[in-house]
Structures are given as C-alpha cells and as structure tokens.
Amino acid sequence: TPSAVQKIKELLKDKPEHVGVKVGVRTRGCNGLSYTLEYTKSKGDSDEEVVQDGVRVFIEKKAQLTLLGTEMDYIEDKLSSEFVFNNPNIKGTCGCGESFNI
C-alpha cells in the first residue's frame, strides 16, 4: 500500500547499504507460521523481487506461495504502529494474532 511504501522509504533513508526489505515466513507461534521482515543488502538467488514506487521488497523462496496475493500495509494509531499483512490464503490465526496457518 502507499502507506507501507512511504514507511519503507523512511526506514531505508538512513541505511544506504541496504537495497530493500525481505519478507519471509517462519515456523513459530501457537498456530504455525509467522511473518518476518528484515533489511537486506542484496537480492538472494531465489528471492522474488517486487518493486512498488521505487521500493524493493524481496520475498524468500519458501514464502512465495504462502504470500501469493498478500497486501502489505503500514498502520499507525494512538497505541501502536506496525506493518500488517492482508493475506487471502490464511485459513486460521491464533488468538493473539502472532501466527497463522494456511
């Protein structure tokens, strides 16, 4: 989303050695999978690259099918600010919202 693009641009502004962010999934939490998001200095050999308004997002190979069709957003309110993934593939989530299953 435009909000996520703007936030990633802000985060990368002071990190010239990083070319973008990498999104993945890890096995953890009470429901199976959890998202990961980290800075990256290069595109991995098997990463899928998505460019949106000049921002480069790399998707790890093992997360590509899990994240197919997912929208990444950035939301701020009075109590928190966070990246949110709107994933149409999710079949269930845990009560705390930290993990999901497909």
Domain holding 18, by residue range, is: 2-90
Residue 98 lies in a domain: no
Sign of the dihedral through C-alpha 60, 16, 5, 93: positive
Within-domain flag for 14? yes
- In this prediction, residue 15 has a pLDDT band, given cuts at 50, 70 and 90, of very high
Rounded-to-integer distance, Cα 70 and Cα 76, Å: 19
Whether residue 21 lies inside any domain: the answer is yes
Q: Give the model's pLDDT for residue 89.
A: 72
Q: pLDDT of 22-32, one tens digit each? A: 999 888 756 57
Find out whether 47 and 64 touch, Cβ atoms under 8 Å: no
Report the alpha-carbon distance of residue 29 to residue 94 in Å, rounded. 8
Is 56 a domain residue? yes
Supply the CATH number for residue 9's domain.
2.60.300.12
Among candidate residues 25, 32, 98, the one with its CA nearest the CA of residue 67: 25
Q: Residue 21 has what pLDDT?
A: 95
- For residue 99, tell me if it sits in a domain: no
Question: pTM score, two decimals?
Answer: 0.82
pLDDT in tens, 36-70: 899 999 999 999 999 999 999 999 998 888 888 89
